[in-house]
């Protein structure tokens, strides 16, 4: 960055020393002067009120719960109670299921026992004539 | 924007912000009313589009509202607002470029948003010539890298000193000067390239 460029920029931005009288306008100074944008119009009517309304709506949404302790506490208590009820119900359902499973297991065991007993009886009756044949000369 | 030491409204702004943090909606409305014109103008200069500038200004004010209880009084409140606004506008411009890139709808040569005069120009040729100059300036600004564009807009159109720009952007005065010098080099080159277009516009005017 050259010193003359720095001085030029300082002159343009901070109103530094003006160029000597009668001196030709430098290229950066001309460019700087020619930069032009349309004049910005002010805020439309009601802009501030609209922004404030949106801010207030955000605030209500964000702070309504902590700012209303009575119903917030009530809601929390309800949630705890609901949790207890749901938990207890699940526990009961589980207990019922266990009983049903135990009953089923018992009946399955009984069936198995009956089947084994039946098979034993069948085998015995089949084995008896064979034994008789052996005995019979 | 004046310096911190000479800012008569600085304390009043911080006091108003403290009231906003305490839930005073009227104080917030008054703050918006006090700064809305400058903020909308700043956003419009960055974005080149009035509707988008209004939207951006609203977002910046809402950020101020959300941070009212966490912003420490330091210097002028409007410096803080400027900083948030500049970052917000640069983010919007980045998004806009990304959308253009993804949609393949345009590129560096795409025409900038239409620049409408804020007030009635005296006659049509003058208005046309003014628009040509504004379009040329917009093209030149759009061609600058973000950090250089920010310092040029703040210096040229907001009239901030290098010290104020440094405070606004959170950089050193040396960095501001360096960016301005680099911007001027680019502007010189870009202006030479755009000169025939501007000259044509003037000839028609």
Do residue B106 and residue B9 come from a single domain?
A: yes
Comparing CA positions, the residue from B160, B111, B156 lying closest to residue B138 is B111
Q: Which of B40, B137, B155 sits opposite A40 (nearest CB)?
A: B40
Return the CATH number at B194: 1.10.10.10
pLDDT of residue B3: 46
Q: Establish if A40 touches chain B: CB-CB under 8 angstroms.
A: yes
pLDDT of residue B28: 93
pLDDT of residue A132: 44
Domain C-terminal end among B110, B145, B166? B110
ipTM, 2 dp: 0.72
Tens of pLDDT along chain A (137 residues) come to 677 777 778 877 776 555 556 666 777 788 888 888 888 888 999 999 999 999 988 887 776 655 567 777 788 888 989 998 888 887 776 665 666 666 666 666 677 777 777 777 766 665 555 444 444 44
Average pLDDT, chain B: 81
Domain C-terminal end among B84, B110, B136? B110
| Whole-Å CA distances, B81 to A11, B42, B76, B87, B159 | 27, 11, 9, 10, 16
Task: Tell me which of A24-28, A124-128, B110-114, B155-159 is least confident.
Answer: B110-114
Residue B179: CB atoms within 10 Å = 24
Do residue B56 and residue B116 come from a single domain?
A: no
- Integer Cα distance of B34 and B93 in angstroms: 26
Q: Which of B25, B155, B188 sits opposite A13 (nearest CB)?
A: B155
Sorted by sequence, the CB contacts under 8 Å of residue B101 that are 6+ apart come out as none
Contacts of B187 in chain A (CB under 8 A): 28, 31-32, 35
Residue A35: CB atoms within 10 Å = 19
Do residue B83 and residue B145 come from a single domain?
A: no
- Integer Cα distance of B111 and B114 in angstroms: 8
Q: How many domains does chain B have?
A: 2
pLDDT tens for each residue of A73-86: 788 888 989 998 88
| A37 min Cα distance to partner chain B (Å) | 5
Q: Establish if B58 touches chain A: CB-CB under 8 angstroms.
A: yes
Domain encompassing residue B31: 1-110
Q: Establish if A67 touches chain B: CB-CB under 8 angstroms.
A: no
Return the CATH number at B54: 1.10.1740.10
CA dihedral (B170, A17, B6, A38) in degrees, to 10, reads: -70
Torsional sign, CA B119, B124, B127, B128 = positive
CA B78, distance to chain mean position in Å, is 13
Mean pLDDT of the region B37-49: 92
Give this prediction's pTM. 0.65
Comparing CA positions, the residue from B156, B148, B146 lying closest to residue B97 is B146
Q: Establish if A33 touches chain B: CB-CB under 8 angstroms.
A: no
Do residue B7 and residue B20 come from a single domain?
A: yes
Higher pLDDT among residues B36 and B130, named by residue: B36
Residue B103, classified by CB atoms within 10 Å of its CB into exposed (0-12), middle (13-18) or buried (19+), is exposed
Task: Tell me which of B113-117, B163-167, B193-197 is least confident.
Answer: B113-117
Q: Judge whether residue B84 has pLDDT over 90.
A: yes
CB pair distance less than 8 Å for A43 and B117: no
pLDDT of residue A135: 43
Q: Establish if A41 touches chain B: CB-CB under 8 angstroms.
A: yes
pLDDT of residue B115: 55
Comparing CA positions, the residue from B85, B43, B92 lying closest to residue B62 is B85
CB pair distance less than 8 Å for B188 and A10: no
Do residue B136 and residue B94 come from a single domain?
A: no
Q: Judge whether residue B2 has pLDDT over 60.
A: no
- Integer Cα distance of B67 and B140 in angstroms: 35
């Amino acid at each position: 960055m050259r010193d003359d460029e720095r001085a030029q920029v300082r002159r343009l931005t901070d109103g530094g020393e003006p160029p000597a009288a009668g001196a030709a306008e430098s290229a950066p100074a001309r460019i700087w002067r020619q930069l032009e944008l349309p004049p910005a119009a002010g805020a439309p009517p009601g802009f501030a009120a609209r922004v404030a309304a949106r801010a207030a709506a955000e605030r209500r949404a964000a702070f309504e719960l902590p700012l209303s302790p009575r119903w917030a506490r009530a809601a929390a208590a309800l949630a705890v109670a609901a949790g207890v009820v749901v938990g207890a119900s699940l526990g009961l359902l589980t207990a019922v299921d266990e009983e049903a499973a135990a009953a089923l297991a018992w009946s399955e065991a009984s069936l198995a026992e009956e089947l084994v007993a039946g098979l034993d009886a069948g085998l015995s009756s089949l084995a008896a004539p064979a034994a008789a044949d052996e005995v019979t000369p | 924007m004046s310096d911190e030491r000479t800012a008569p409204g600085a304390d009043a702004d911080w006091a108003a912000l403290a009231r906003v943090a305490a839930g005073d909606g009227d104080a917030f409305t008054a703050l918006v009313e006090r700064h809305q014109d400058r903020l909308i103008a700043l956003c419009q200069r960055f974005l080149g589009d009035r509707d988008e500038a209004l939207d951006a200004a609203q977002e910046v004010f809402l950020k101020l509202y959300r941070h009212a209880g966490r912003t420490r009084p330091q210097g002028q409140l409007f410096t803080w607002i400027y900083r948030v606004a500049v970052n917000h506008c640069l983010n919007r411009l980045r998004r806009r470029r990304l959308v253009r890139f993804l949609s393949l709808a345009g590129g560096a040569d795409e025409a900038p948003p239409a620049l409408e005069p804020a007030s009635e120009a005296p006659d049509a040729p003058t208005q046309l010539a003014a628009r040509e100059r504004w379009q040329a300036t917009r093209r030149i600004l759009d061609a600058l890298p973000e950090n250089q564009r920010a310092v040029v807009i703040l210096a040229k159109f907001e009239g901030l000193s290098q010290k104020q720009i440094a405070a606004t952007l959170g950089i050193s005065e040396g960095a501001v000067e360096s960016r301005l010098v680099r911007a001027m080099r680019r502007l010189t080159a870009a202006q030479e390239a755009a000169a025939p277009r501007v000259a044509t516009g003037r000839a028609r005017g």
